Copies of this chain bind each other. A is one copy, B any other.
Amino acid sequence: MNKNKEFLYLQLADKIEKMIGAGAYTIGDKLPSVRSLHREHGISISTALQVYTHLERQGWVEAREKSGYFVQFSRQGLPQLPPVSNPVQTASKVQVSERVAMIRNTSSNKHIFSLIGASPDTSLLPTAKLNKALRQAAREESKAYIPYSDVTGYEPLRRQIAKLSLNWGGAVTPDQVIITNGAIEAATLCLRAVAKAGDTIAIESPTFFGLLQAIENLGMKVLEIPTDPVTGVSLDKLEEVFKKKKVQACLFICTYNNPLGSCIPDNSKKQLAQLLHKYHIPLIEDDVYGDLHFAPERPKTVKTYDRDDLVLYCSSFSKSLAAGLRVGWIINSRYHEKLAQLKFMSSASTGLLPQLLLVKYLEQQRMDLHLKSLRQALSIQSMQMTKGIQQSFPADTRLTRPAGGISLWVVLPPKVDTWELHRKALEHQIAFTPGALFSSQPKYNNCLRLSNATPWNDDLAWAVQTLGKLICKQLK
């Protein structure tokens, strides 16, 4: 009898949890009252109350006095945040590409349960509308993609990108934009425009290995700056470095850093812009995750506050529309001529076909509506992945709580070796990204990055659970 009742409330709680997961209810939504659960599901008031108590305990629901129950991303009972990072404060050579190659080779296996996802799952993207735009481009611009394009890219797309900058308070003109083969090429061109081999670049710690590779690629060095998992790079430490003239430039993902998910608050971004001005040091701002904010408001960028044009803003459509299009861009005037020259030397110009498609899409489809539903899905997936980790990982696991983006950073007890864990997980067909890839120093080997790019499902749940078991095994 008791068991049966327990079964009933768990069943209904599970149903509501799934509806939240599917986006039927989203963060902030009011849930049905206890009374309406009682009426509509033929359960007792006390069972209905049990449903919400359970969901509350799981962190899915918040009770507001005299108002009822609301969907929320409860912080109650969540793992502690990772500490501010503490990298060694000396410039060092980067040598991550060998390790990255090892991971890359394993992750291309199609039979793997991937927790790696570097861009949102295809099911979250407006494929039908992109395809409509493609067919329209084929119909209306049937010859436009044949010859070489302008080295800076297709003018109508540069115009659209200039418009998109309004979202973060930019006032950009099309002639400040250079279209690139994704954001990695963009960052590479920017690095070459402001620094040369042997120079030192300030980066966040940890930092996305793709950026570390770009720096390694160019024979530059890095200086890793302590980074807070919520508010990003430490401006005090950065100013010390600026004072001592230790770096030639900065390369930061200021909004939803990969892997930390940290976001420099708007007023600190403004302060950072002032620091750049004071010491006359350029910043390459990689903003590929900027549109993926879980809260309604889009954060600003450092570029927003950049009166000196010292910020070389980089972004792409890889995280918001389609990574396979390989279209990114740079916004900057100060280094424009140099950047255009480097682009011409590196790849002549960016292919026209994806640019034509993007122009049709941006002109005629509602990207804002797509982004709204994408953000909602990513926010829920982030919450679900967090729950999964909370349920299966050791109790002293530390975990980020990003307010946007597509990654979670897990800090495990120092004893855990995630490089070895990766090897073990592969035996179970599970892939994640080991922490050691995210630094030039021998650090973060007890950390790992998990992606919330894919809608939560039983396979993912199983993979996270299995990973938890493997970690516990290592700890014994």
Contact = CB atoms under 8 A, between A and B. Distances in A.
B108 A127 contact: no
A184 interface: yes
A349 B337 contact: no
A261 interface: no
A143 B130 CA distance: 9
Contacts of A144: 324
Interface stretch (A53-61, A67-75, A209-217, A405-413): A209-217
A147 B323 contact: yes
Contact of A349 (B97, B139, B326): B326
Contact of A346 (B127, B149, B184, B351): B184
Interface string A98-134: 0011001000100000000011001001011011001
A208 B346 CA distance: 15
Contact of A147 (B122, B213, B340, B344): B122
A143 B119 contact: no
Given A127-B142, A146-B127, A327 B341 contact: no
Contact of A181 (B127, B181, B197, B213): B181
Nearest to A149: B324
Contacts of A285: none
Contact of A357 (B119, B345, B353): B353
A300 B83 CA distance: 62
A145 interface: yes
Nearest to A188: B346
Please indicate which of the listed interface residues A104, A128, A145 has the most CB atoms of chain B within 10 Å of its own CB.
A145
Interface string A336-374: 010011101111111111100100000000000000000
A135 interface: yes
A326 B344 contact: no
Contacts of A213: 344-345
Q: Chain A: interface residue count, which band?
A: 35 or more
Contacts of A219: 197
A325 interface: yes
Given A326-B350, A354-B353, A150 B108 contact: yes
A145 B217 contact: no
A278 B181 CA distance: 39
A125 B146 contact: yes
A330 to B, nearest CB: 14
Interface in A141-158: 142-151
Contact of A130 (B146, B188, B323): B146
A217 B345 CA distance: 7
Nearest to A141: B131
B324 A353 contact: yes
A101 B326 CA distance: 25
Contacts of A210: 345, 348
A131 to B, nearest CB: 4
A322 interface: yes
A147 B130 CA distance: 13
Given A134-B138, A357-B353, A326 B348 contact: yes
A417 to B, nearest CB: 24
Name the residue among A108, A138, A139, A349 with the largest chain B CB count within 10 angstroms: A138
Contacts of A259: none
A182 interface: yes
Contacts of A337: 101
A25 B142 CA distance: 30
Nearest to A338: B101
A287 interface: no
13 contacts: A100-B344, A104-B151, A108-B150, A119-B148, A130-B146, A146-B322, A147-B324, A181-B347, A181-B351, A197-B197, A326-B347, A326-B349, A346-B346
A188 B352 CA distance: 21
A286 interface: no
Contacts of A204: none
A155 to B, nearest CB: 11
